[in-house]
Amino acid sequence: MSSSTETKKLGVLSLAGLVISAMIGGGIYNLPQNMAQGASAGAVGIAWIITGIGMYFLTNTFRVLSTVRPDAKSGIYMYARLGFGKLTGFLMAWGYWLSSIFANVGYAILLMDSLNYFFPPHFKGGNNLPSVIGGSILIWLMYFMIMAGVKQAASINIIGTIAKLVPIAVFIIASLFVFKFSMFDTNFWGHETIKAIHDTNLGGIGGQIKSTMLVTLWSFIGIEGAVVISDRAESQKAVSKATLIGFLLCWLSYTAISMLPFGLLSQGELAVLAPPSAAAVLADIVGEWGEWFMNIGVIIALLSSWLVWTVFLAEVPFACAKDGTFPKIFAKENKNGTPSFALLVSSIAMQLTMVLVYFANNAWNAMLSITGVMILPAYMASTLYLWQISKRGDIPKDVGIKTKTALITGVLGSIYGAWLIYAAGLKYLVMASILFAIGILVFCKAREENKGENEPIFTEKEKMAAIALVIIAIIALYLLITKKVTI
């Protein structure tokens, strides 16, 4: 893949750090308020159990596929390509890439807003002129850092991962010391109105759990991190271990940071805390230093996650270009083995989006919601592919994985993937069709460069799918322009 073999040697520790950093951004520090906003302690606990089970099957899908198909590098799109054709593989990669671009700009906004805690009011909101300038500078600092080498960036990320886990560990330990079961047990199911502690009747458990599902969903975006970077892993076994380690550590951290505050403050009190709510909770336990300590944690977490997602931004189109999914120019790399052209285009796209944030804040919020949903089809395509090869009996007998186990994982993972898309909002996926349809032009360019002399750009099925996608996109655009659908 590269003239530099060093870039291929990411071990379990580096890969696990990438997975953890991809998932743990600044959002974890606001989980106490996010989860308590519409749910009681009991409902929050059930929500994390449901999410833990569902995400286990999704995580296990990536773990199993990295073992049984070690040849499928950067599998987040390759599994879709192998199972459902070149166009599907491209659309999964295109959606994932765009989602990563907008997610990174989201990190920039959150980071600038977090800096406002220390330098008020210069970065208020994270989208004013100083924030756009600051975010733009960081975009290019990340660019030059990764241009020095992916392995070097991964090494830096290990330090960042440890640094952002320290405030979380301090929060959990401090919360355990002051945890009061009497408070935790008060209005445990959220069915009472207790004015003294600002609790209100939250309604049925089902509704409470549903109110948390979007929060739990976005908490695990990035679980595929080791798979995305697998082309630079020392082995696919390391990818498998890193994915499982990342999942378990993050799930335990999310559950603890969501549940323990109910032993200190009531649901009603937690629901109105200002972001990052974990800072307010820790300040209540240890004093004012707890607030700035957690805010520093937010900044480190955002920087670390931003670095990781920038690596992904370069890796996905680079891997795609090597197998003909993206135009060949994206396969260009520098002397350090970094996908230089892919990283440059991604950084320019982030820069343009950063400017868009300043001029069109409302449009940005809508776009962020749409592109967030675009990553979910890639998850479901992976689970469906595992289901497909398991049903065909294509699981090698020498990999230590039973076909029945793989099939169950694929089926249940697919069901959970469908639930994620439904919970995230089908209307956002329909609106995302506009961005997916634009990508067809890039697909045509890539196919023109890589197809055989008499080979068509589209198969008959792909042609029908592309036409259907364009029609849906036109309808979605019409609905947006006429404001018959608001997002």
Q: Where are the alpha helices (DSSP H) in 274-375?
A: 277-286, 288-322, 340-359, 361-373
Do residues 262 and 281 make contact, with C-beta atoms less than 8 angstroms apart?
A: no
pLDDT at 154 over 80: no
Query: What pLDDT does residue 10 have?
Result: 79
Range from 82-91, 123-132, 284-293 carrying the lowest mean pLDDT: 123-132
pLDDT for residue 4: 42
The residue with greater pLDDT, 229 or 343, is: 343
* 396 has pLDDT over 90: no
**Residues 325-371: tens digit of each pLDDT:** 999 999 999 988 889 999 999 999 999 999 988 887 766 677 777 87
Query: Lowest mean pLDDT: which of 113-122, 152-161, 246-255, 337-346?
Result: 152-161
Q: Give the model's confidence band at 88: pLDDT under 50 very low, under 70 low, under 90 confident, else very high.
A: very high
Rounded average pLDDT over 42-48: 95
Residue range 135-152, pLDDT digits in tens: 999 999 999 988 887 777
Sorted by where each starts, the structural domains of the chain and their CATH numbers stand as: 5-359+374-424 (1.20.1740.10)
What is the per-residue pLDDT across 433-478, written as a single tens digit (0 to 9) for each? 999 999 999 999 999 999 888 889 999 999 999 999 999 999 999 9
Chain centroid to CA 380: 14
The residue among 241, 240, 282 whose CA lies nearest residue 261 is 282
Cβ proximity of 366 and 480 under 8 Å = no
The whole-chain average pLDDT of the chain stands at 88
- Give the residue carrying structure tokens 């001029």: 359
pTM of the entire predicted model: 0.87
pLDDT of res. 433: 93
Give the rounded percent of residues in the chain with a pLDDT score beyond 90.
52
108 close to 354: Cβ distance less than 8 angstroms: yes
Q: What distance in Å separates the CA atoms of residue 391 and residue 65, rounded to the nearest whole number?
A: 14
Tens digit of each residue's pLDDT (9 = 90 or more) over 401-434: 889 999 999 999 999 888 888 877 778 888 899 9
pLDDT exceeds cutoff 60 at 74: yes
Higher-scoring residue by pLDDT: 60, 6 = 60
- At 6 the pLDDT is 42
Per-residue pLDDT, 5: 42
